[in-house]
Chain A
Amino acid sequence: MKLDELTKGLFKYNPIFYLLLGLCPLLAVSTRVDNALGMSLAVLFVLVGSNVIISLLRQWIPPEVRIPCFIVVIASFVTIVDLFMYGYAPDLHERLGIYVPLIVVNCIILGRAEAFASKKSVSHSLLDGIGMGIGFMLGIVAIASVREVLSTGAMTIFGYTVIPGLTQTPAMVMLLPPGAFFTIAIIMALINYTTIRRARRR
């Protein structure tokens, strides 16, 4: 089934909770929901673009230099995102800072290029890119929601208050890297718990 290529990235093989890829930007950017959304849109664009181009060129790229070829394609997409984000969303660009150019070395993107797009057809790679990109978005936004609410007591997305201030003494630790690890661990434990229970029932 072709649609599987899209949905597998969302839950079953979620890049964050199942494949455990792309954790470094995840730790750094998941402090606020709007940063997480901006970051994951950039990743989605780069992932879909590089998957499609690499799949198009897959028979033509010599295996000996495939990694340099992949990196040039990925880095080009990242530079395009970087330029347009600087021009059209300067505040977001400033908050994400070094993590926009660092998408080049995001292992989800190189991982999908190497493991999937370089072997599968263009349409499959397109669906795979969309699925994995949205899967990354779901993961990072979930983590960012928990961290933002616990570390600030509120949630503000692009200037709109979604959750008003709940407490005057929020848990600062959630803003720091340990907070990201706690959140990832707890969500992953819940996912594994439900998967194991479901498997046993069958």
Chain B
Amino acid sequence: MMESVKRIVRISIPLILICIVSGATLTVSNDLTKERIAGVEQRKVNESLSMIFPGASFNKTGDYYTALMNGEEIGYAFIAQGKGYSGTIKTMVGMYQNGTIDGIYVISQLETPGLGTRIAEPDFTNQFSGKRIEDIRLRQDGGLIDSITGATISSRAITEIVRTRAEVVVNETR
């Protein structure tokens, strides 16, 4: 009994120490790159805003942006994110005041290359333009979005992420 306890301690201590050192190193690396990465992400957000409402200016209200064209409100833009097939899908969504979607633009995703990554391509994302929120569902779920062959999980994930978030924002802006 005593022997096996000793053995477990003997083999776990080096692994524990390696994990502690690794954790410390990664904390330092994270601190060193935190600001740069925040800058990169902010730039991506700004880029995606101008893709959604080209030429508009934006006011940040709470957790969504109000898009203004010549001083007049034309719609809202907001980030919708959630779990995809692998990793988080983060997308910018533009919505008109009457609750129809203006368009979506995928900011980041980690889906399967060549299959799930196609959710970020215009062939897929253009389908969202002009749709009402309740139609933002896959066709097999009773909506108007065609899923990508071989990537139903990714297609459903982004569709659900966009709709759920849009429903929340619609209620907030009313």
- Decide: A80 and B26 in contact? CB cutoff 8 A: yes
* B-chain residues with CB within 8 Å of residue A68 when the two chains form the complex: 15
Smallest CB–CB gap between A66 and chain B, Å? 9
Instruction: Give bound CA distance, A87 to B22, whole Å.
Output: 20
* A-chain residues with CB within 8 Å of residue B149 when the two chains form the complex: none
Q: 8 Å CB contacts to B: which residues of A34-92? A: 57, 60-62, 64-65, 68-69, 72-73, 75-76, 79-80, 83-84, 86-88, 90
- Decide: B110 and A84 in contact? CB cutoff 8 A: no
- Known A-B contacts A60-B14, A65-B11; the reply to A73 vs B33 at CB < 8 A is no
- Known A-B contacts A28-B113, A83-B33, A87-B33; the reply to A62 vs B26 at CB < 8 A is no
Q: Is the interface of B mostly helix, strand, loop or mixed?
A: helix
**Chain B 44-67 interface mask (CB, 8 Å, partner A; 1/0):** 100000000000000000000000
Instruction: Give bound CA distance, A55 to B135, whole Å.
Output: 58
Q: Does A98 contact B (CB under 8 A)?
A: yes
- Decide: A86 and B14 in contact? CB cutoff 8 A: no
* A-chain residues with CB within 8 Å of residue B14 when the two chains form the complex: 57, 60-62, 65, 69
- Decide: B40 and A87 in contact? CB cutoff 8 A: yes
Smallest CB–CB gap between A107 and chain B, Å? 19
Instruction: Give bound CA distance, A62 to B6, whole Å.
Output: 13
| Residues of chain B at interface, number, CB under 8 A | 24
User: Quick one: closest A residue to B37, CB to CB?
Assistant: A87
Instruction: Give bound CA distance, A57 to B13, whole Å.
Output: 13
- Decide: A73 and B22 in contact? CB cutoff 8 A: yes
| Residues of chain A at interface, number, CB under 8 A | 25
Q: 8 Å CB contacts to A: which residues of B1-54? A: 10-12, 14-15, 18-19, 22, 25-26, 29-30, 32-33, 36-37, 40, 44
Q: Does B86 contact A (CB under 8 A)?
A: yes
Instruction: Give bound CA distance, A13 to B33, whole Å.
Output: 36
- Decide: A98 and B33 in contact? CB cutoff 8 A: no
User: Quick one: closest B residue to A94, CB to CB?
Assistant: B108
Q: Does A97 contact B (CB under 8 A)?
A: yes
Pick from A62, A87, A90, A94 the residue with the most CB of B within 10 Å.
A87
Instruction: Give bound CA distance, A80 to B21, whole Å.
Output: 13
Report, nearest first, the 4 A-B pairs whose CB atoms are least far apart. A87-B36, A87-B33, A62-B11, A76-B22
Show the binding face of B for A, using Cβ within 8 Å: 10-12, 14-15, 18-19, 22, 25-26, 29-30, 32-33, 36-37, 40, 44, 86-87, 108, 110, 113, 117
19 contacts between A and B (CB under 8 A): A28-B113, A57-B14, A57-B18, A60-B14, A61-B14, A62-B11, A65-B11, A68-B15, A69-B14, A72-B18, A72-B19, A75-B22, A83-B30, A83-B33, A86-B36, A86-B37, A87-B33, A87-B37, A98-B113
